[in-house]
């Protein structure tokens, strides 16, 4: 159904149910302009509501605000309650993602070849729970973690499903806790 925009009088095609309304608009900006023009919306009331909001909840964030040098120095040193500078719990510490050495041993050709052999040896099943999985859902796990032995051997590898692998990783962390602490200390000191 063809009607006219109430603001610019441009012809617009509307669904019959929407065209039956008293006023149709080609865009929302024309609707808002029309409501201001007619007096449905009042700019004074809108600004008054905005001012009440500012009084209630504080000033909105000021764009382009500049700090004094004294305030900048306070931020650098760490104001009380700001968790900046020396007050921050992570000050001078190594982040968790940099704690352990990151070497992509799982992309080495030797490991990929051994993984395929291990899959065939374990018949595409999890060693712990015995559940048959697809090749991509199984993890090739080192019995003694690679970070400790730093070598790939077929008798040190086993196939695990996702849940068994995560449980074993947690057990390994608790079993070799001293090793992981030593690594983190070495990283923090360097």
Q: Give the dihedral of Cα atoms 168, 171, 173, 178; nearest 10 deg.
A: -140
Q: How far apart are CA 177 and CA 132, in angstroms?
A: 32
Is 34 contained in some domain? yes
Is 81 contained in some domain? no
Question: Length of the chain in residues, anyone?
Answer: 190
- DSSP three-state, residue 33: helix
Is 182 contained in some domain? yes
Is 139 contained in some domain? yes
Is 92 contained in some domain? no
Tens of pLDDT, residue by residue over 102-147, are 667 778 888 889 999 999 999 889 998 888 877 678 889 999 888 7
Regarding pTM above 0.85, the answer is no
Count of domains in the chain?
2
Of the two residues 81 and 74, the one the predictor is more confident about is: 74
Tens of pLDDT, residue by residue over 41-64, are 766 666 666 666 665 555 555 545
112 and 38 share a domain?
A: no
Is 152 contained in some domain? yes
Q: Which CATH number belongs to the domain containing residue 142 in this structure?
A: 3.40.1800
Is 78 contained in some domain? no
Is 61 contained in some domain? no
Q: For residue 113, what are the domain limits?
A: 107-189
44, 62, 78: which is the final residue of a domain?
44
In angstroms, the Cα distances linking 142 to 75, 88, 106, 135, 161 are: 47, 37, 11, 17, 13
Q: What are the structure tokens assigned to 103, written together?
A: 């070497």
């Amino acid at each position: 159904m063809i009607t006219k925009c109430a603001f610019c009088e441009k012809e617009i095609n509307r669904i019959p149910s929407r065209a039956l309304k008293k006023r149709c608009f080609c865009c929302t900006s024309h609707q808002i302009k029309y409501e201001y023009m007619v007096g449905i919306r009042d700019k004074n009331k809108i600004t008054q509501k905005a001012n009440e909001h500012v009084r209630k909840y504080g000033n909105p964030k000021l764009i382009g605000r500049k700090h004094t040098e004294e305030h900048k120095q306070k931020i650098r040193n760490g104001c009380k309650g700001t968790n900046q500078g020396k007050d921050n719990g992570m000050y001078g510490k190594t982040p968790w993602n940099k704690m352990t050495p990151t070497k992509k041993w799982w992309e080495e050709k030797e490991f990929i070849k051994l993984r395929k052999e291990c899959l065939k040896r374990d018949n595409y099943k999890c060693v712990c729970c015995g559940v048959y999985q697809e090749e991509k859902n199984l993890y090739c796990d080192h019995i003694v973690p690679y970070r400790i032995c730093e070598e790939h051997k077929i008798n040190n590898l086993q196939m695990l499903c996702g849940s068994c692998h995560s449980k074993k990783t947690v057990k390994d962390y608790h079993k070799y806790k001293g090793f992981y602490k030593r690594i983190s200390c070495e990283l923090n000191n360097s």
